[in-house]
Amino acid sequence: HGCKFELDYSKVYWNSRLQTEHARIVSTLDRRKDVVCDLMCGIGPFAIPAARNGCRVYANDLNPESYKWLRNNVKLNKVEDKVSCFNEDARAFLRRLTRDLLDKKQPLFTVVTMNLPATAIEFLDAFIGIYPSHFKQNDMPRIHVYCFSRGDTLEDMTNAAMKRIEGVIRAKVDRNAHDLNVHDVRNVAPKKNMLCVSFNLPRDVGCAQSSEADAKTTTDQDASKKRSTRDGEEDECEKTAIAGPGPKRKKSEP
């Protein structure tokens, strides 16, 4: 999609095998109405193409080095007017951003990408109760959450991922809903695949009682601080094999 990326391989994560997946998600965006919240954006492989496609983007990553290169790449691709960059915990950022947009009466994000397959599902509880009770189902965002899932078949992996998601958001996701899509991104190990589960946030989750949501958020805050939000983080053995220490390099993504 014509974007250029610079990064330091020794300090941030990059996987060129995900280029097709980045393009797949960006192709689903509507530049006329979609606002993107990239919770675990890394150096910007989703955020920057989305901005070049014409969307407003809020891009966040906890890793200071990823944040530094994100800002660099936003300037490199001349999308400063489309992308706002943040360096915060993903859970806290989602709640703060939602409050700020509501208070300022600015357009809310319509699409959320969560590309941290090792732990992204655990952050889905941040959506519980973040919207006012008068919001309708059409006001809920579409979520693309990445995960690793094990099983003998793709169906087994899908069912395992859905159970984890439903356990975190404490609600059922209609497996037959037209908006539910489970995409097999790639195989990472025997009987272990990287999946992207895309679904519209259920209104009952987004508009849950605030007291219930606050209790859940408080319980998970300490655990949240211990997690990294580096883009596409995988098992330690795979990270070492793919990323590895190395010098600063320039990377172009078509």
pLDDT of 122-151, one tens digit each?
999 999 999 999 999 999 999 999 999 999
Pairwise pLDDT comparison (252 vs 137), residue with the higher score: 137
Averaged confidence pLDDT in the chain: 86
Cβ distance 125 to 220 under 8 Å? yes
Q: Using CA atoms, how far apart are residues 233 and 92, in angstroms rounded to an integer?
A: 20
| Among 169, 170, 164, CA closest to 147 | 164
CA 253/CA 1 separation, integer angstroms: 7
In this predicted model, which residue has the larger pLDDT, 20 or 214?
A: 20
The CA-based diameter of the chain, rounded to the nearest angstrom, is 52
Q: How far apart, in whole angstroms, are the C-alpha atoms of residue 45 and residue 14?
A: 9
Give the residue with greater pLDDT, 225 vs 185.
185
> For the segment 7-60, what is each residue's pLDDT rounded down to a tens digit?
888 888 877 778 889 999 999 999 999 999 999 999 999 999 999 999 999 999
Token pair recorded at residue 197: 């589960």
Closest CA to 49 of 116, 6, 3: 3
Six-digit token pair at 206?
Answer: 């987004």
Q: Closest Cα to residue 23, out of 61, 53, 43, 58?
A: 53
Residue 210 pLDDT > 60: no
Distant-in-sequence, close-in-space partners of 107: CB < 8 Å, separation ≥ 6: 35, 56, 101
Query: Can you tell me the distance from the alpha carbon of 90 to that of 62, in angstroms, rounded to the nearest whole number?
Result: 7
Flag whether the pTM goes above 0.75: yes
Concatenated DSSP letters of 196-227: EEEEEPPHHHHT--HHHHHHHHHHHHHHHHT-
Residue with tokens 């990823």: 66
Characterize 155-181 residue by residue with b for buried, 16 or more Cβ atoms within 10 angstroms of its Cβ, and e for exposed: eebbebbbebbeebbebebeeeeeeee
